[in-house]
Amino acid sequence: MKSEVIVTENELPEDVIEAVRQGQKIEAIKLLREATGLGLANAKVLVDRASRIHGPEPVIKSFADQPSGVGNLVKSLGLALAVAAAWYFYQG
């Protein structure tokens, strides 16, 4: 009978935490399974939880980061014109 190992996302081996920091979740799961004998599902849950604590910061693009220029303005105006034309066509 195999004894169960109880591990939390705060008690992971250092090599697992390092893999999580680098964004390598699959490698972290593999290392965790080798170190603890956990099943795939349990190791994945722990690595997902650990990535919230130790993982890389998510990149959130804001509107200000978008390139500005005449091209985007023309596209927006063209879309507005197409919507207005469709509305006019279906109204009459």
What DSSP assignment string belongs to 6-64?
P--TTS--HHHHHHHHTT-HHHHHHHHHHHH---HHHHHHHHHHHHHHHSPPPP---GG
pTM of this structure: 0.57
Q: How many domains does the chain have?
A: 1
CA distance 68 to 82: 22
Q: What is the pLDDT along the chain (92 residues), one digit of tens a residue?
A: 455 567 777 788 999 999 999 989 999 999 999 999 999 999 999 999 998 888 877 777 776 666 667 777 888 899 999 999 999 988 86
Task: Tell me, yes or no, whether 41 lies in a domain.
Answer: yes
Q: Which domain holds residue 34?
A: 14-57+68-91
Task: Tell me, yes or no, whether 34 lies in a domain.
Answer: yes
Task: Tell me, yes or no, whether 29 lies in a domain.
Answer: yes
pLDDT for position 75 = 86
pLDDT for position 1 = 43
CA distance 21 to 38: 21
